[in-house]
Amino acid sequence: MKPIRVLIVDDSAFVRKAITTMLQSEPDIEIVGLANNGKEAVEKIAELKPDIITLDVEMPIMNGLEALKIIMERFPTPVIMISSLTTEGATATIEAMSLGAVDFIPKQSTLTVQQTMKEELLAKIRAIAQSHSLKSRLSRTQQLLSSLSFRSSSKQAPTAKPAPKSEEQSLERLSLQERIARRRESLKSDSQDTAGTMSSSTAPAQKPLSEVRVSGRKRPVSNTMKIIVLGVSTGGPLALHQVIPKLPPEMPVGMLIIQHMPAHFTKSLADRLNSLSHVTVREAQDGDLLEPGLVLIAPGGFHMKIGKDHKTIHVTLEPASTLHRPSVDVTVESVVESFGGNALGVIMTGMGRDGCAGLKKLHDKGGYIIAQDEESCVVYGMPKAVVDDGIADEVLPLEDLADSIAACVGAHAIAAKSS
């Protein structure tokens, strides 16, 4: 197997050396080059064609954000930002991820924390490198992100052509992945047959095929879903920028988002999404009241729960034993305790299994579950756990998630605001 080719970009010789030390002893990683500013980085990317780039923000001659725009336009490549743990650093990092960076690592100073940084960086490089189609998706994403970067949404999410009863019964005996494949092939055949009966001048443009409902369950009836809870991790900010701005202002329910991030970063993420969205987006505070059209993002370093009164938000350090804080499982379990099965669960790109246990409880109570598909994930970990456990009702590409989320609560996704 070929090693993962990494280009390190930072104006600090100390940081370049630190990251080199973290990576150079790993047999599956090859450091192909170093650059000390964005201009040099762009030149070396054209020459070296790395698999992954680590990129600083503040650099002379050409900073990281300027370089990132050029990288995404000319050489779409997975980029991990190396960010300072400051409010300014967080704001710049969120902007970078809205431009196409897939993730970030906070800069650490002490040796003890540098070991944690090393483990996190290695895990993210390896997980991102496993996504073989990521470069082509980044190229498509750049097209979606031009001028704000979002494409208009259709009024309704695509639905599968109903299968004959005998086919539905036979699908029940197949694994979930087999059912996804069968339905995709069925849709492909149907679309080809339809196109074949039309002249090229009258045939409508075909929307790219997407994964469809795979559990056999119908979408929720309007007014049955009282809350939306969404979990996401690696690749989340870029993905959220393609979902939340498409939700309409008249969303009839509130939404809770759990994004694995440190403090400062979740506030910057919420502020940026709020500036782009029709709904109101903000970082959750203890005592907030969830209401229709309000999206609350769990603050970094804290869990977010909803009370049994269906509206009061609790921001807490407990439980302290979870791998992640905020934790998707903790929030989803509080939603189940409050709303039972009258909740829509969404799981998106990210490493690990956080959210699977909580969504299993929601599924068992009758809640409806949507998972992002493998093709559109930066890291297919959290959605994979849900799909493999057989609790996903729909498995959809990123571009269709807003349509489906809105449809499940009786609304329609709309075009994002123009920048």
Q: What are the start-end ranges of the E strands in 274-396?
A: 280-283, 294-297, 303-306, 313-316, 344-347, 368-372, 394-396
Among the listed residues 83, 210, 241, 260, the single catalytic one is: 260
Which among 137, 99, 53, 120 has a CA at the least distance from the CA of 373? 137
For residues 386 and 177, the answer to whether their CB atoms sit within 8 Å is no
Say what angle helices 13-24 and 111-129 make with each other, to 10 degrees. 60
By C-alpha distance, which of 417, 405, 415, 366 is closest to 157? 405
Residue tagged active-site, from 10, 51, 56, 354: 354
Site of tokens 């790219």 = 208
Tell me, yes or no, if 260 is annotated catalytic. yes
CB atoms within 10 A of CB 185: 11
Which backbone phi and psi does 371 adopt, to 5 degrees? -120, 140
Element holding 235 (H helix, E strand): none
Structure tokens belonging to residue 123: 């895990």
CB 351 within 8 A of CB 237: no
Q: Is the peptide bond preceding residue 208 cis, with omega within 30 degrees of 0?
A: no
Q: Is 400 a catalytic residue?
A: no
Two structure tokens written together for 147: 């001028």
CB 254 within 8 A of CB 295: yes
Label the pairing between strands 4-9 and 29-35. Answer: parallel
As given in the structure block, the two tokens for residue 265 are 């970063």
Concerning whether 354 is annotated as a catalytic residue, the answer is yes
Catalytic site residue from 131, 153, 233, 268: 233
Which are the catalytic amino acids?
233, 260, 354
